[in-house]
């Protein structure tokens, strides 16, 4: 059976990490779950140990942490899954079965169960129908190890996924998104706040229209 390494950055993630790890253990045939923790002050490490995760610690930026995680991967394909994401079997099968020789990465979408998640899903179906290019996300993503070879990510707290996507496409691989949905365990208000912050940052570089299409 094919095995996958699973990479998770954590920081004070005790409220969601247990459900995240439970879903991974149940669904993904994993070789190793690798966690880099930003020196959490809650029970994050205790929970990670319960699931026999490989645990490292670092105070570096999220971009740098993801780079370290990718260098620890030993399997041909691996997952990035955020600590506040709960996956499901349908999501897993869609991503796994979407692979081909040109694919470097494919991500699904972690959605809240409220009105924000509902509206987001409608927008994503429209993007898929009209083949609108989507910014790559790393919250619930399957990646090919050779596609991220020698990657260098900047010292960013967010939006590091944009640079990872550029690296993969520069290596002549494709980054796709699938209509594969899993659960985002953050509160809707926090998700909205982060999305607006990303929108503001992206609009500075690409304009508001392109920024909206990438969120």
Give the model confidence (pLDDT) of 51-78 as tens digits: 999 999 999 999 999 999 999 999 999 9
Mean pLDDT of 139-144: 97
Phi, psi (deg, nearest 5) at residue 57: -130, 145
pLDDT of residue 206: 59
Mean pLDDT of the residues in the chain = 89
Phi, psi (deg, nearest 5) at residue 30: -95, 150
- pLDDT reading at 157 higher than 60: yes
Q: Domain 4-187 has what CATH class? A: alpha beta
Domain layout of the chain by residue ranges: 4-187
pLDDT of residue 211: 44
What pTM was computed for the model?
Answer: 0.91
Mean pLDDT of 155-182: 91
Mean pLDDT of 141-159: 89
Model confidence band, residue 178 (pLDDT cutoffs 50, 70, 90)? very high
Report the alpha-carbon distance of residue 174 to residue 38 in Å, rounded.
Answer: 31
pLDDT tens for 72-130 read 999 999 999 999 999 999 999 999 999 999 999 999 999 998 888 888 888 888 888 88
């Amino acid at each position: 059976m094919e095995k996958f390494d699973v990479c998770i950055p954590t920081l004070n993630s005790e409220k969601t990490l247990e459900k995240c790890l439970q879903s991974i253990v149940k669904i993904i045939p994993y070789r190793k779950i690798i966690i880099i923790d930003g020196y959490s002050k809650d029970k994050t490490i205790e929970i990670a140990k319960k699931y026999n995760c490989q645990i490292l610690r670092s105070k570096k930026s999220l971009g740098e942490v993801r780079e370290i995680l990718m260098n620890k991967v030993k399997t041909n394909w691996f997952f990035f899954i955020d600590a506040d994401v709960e996956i499901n079997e349908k999501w897993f099968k869609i991503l796994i079965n979407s692979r081909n020789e040109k694919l470097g990465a494919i991500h699904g979408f972690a959605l809240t169960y409220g009105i924000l998640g509902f509206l987001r899903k409608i927008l994503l179906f429209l993007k898929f129908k009209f083949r609108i290019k989507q910014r790559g996300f790393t919250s619930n993503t399957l990646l090919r190890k050779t596609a991220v070879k020698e990657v260098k990510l900047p010292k960013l707290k967010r939006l590091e996924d944009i640079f990872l996507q550029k690296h993969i496409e520069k290596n002549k691989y494709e980054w796709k998104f699938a209509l594969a949905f899993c659960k985002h365990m953050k509160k809707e208000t926090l998700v909205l706040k982060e999305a607006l912050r990303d929108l503001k940052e992206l609009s500075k570089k690409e304009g508001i229209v392109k920024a909206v299409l990438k969120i």
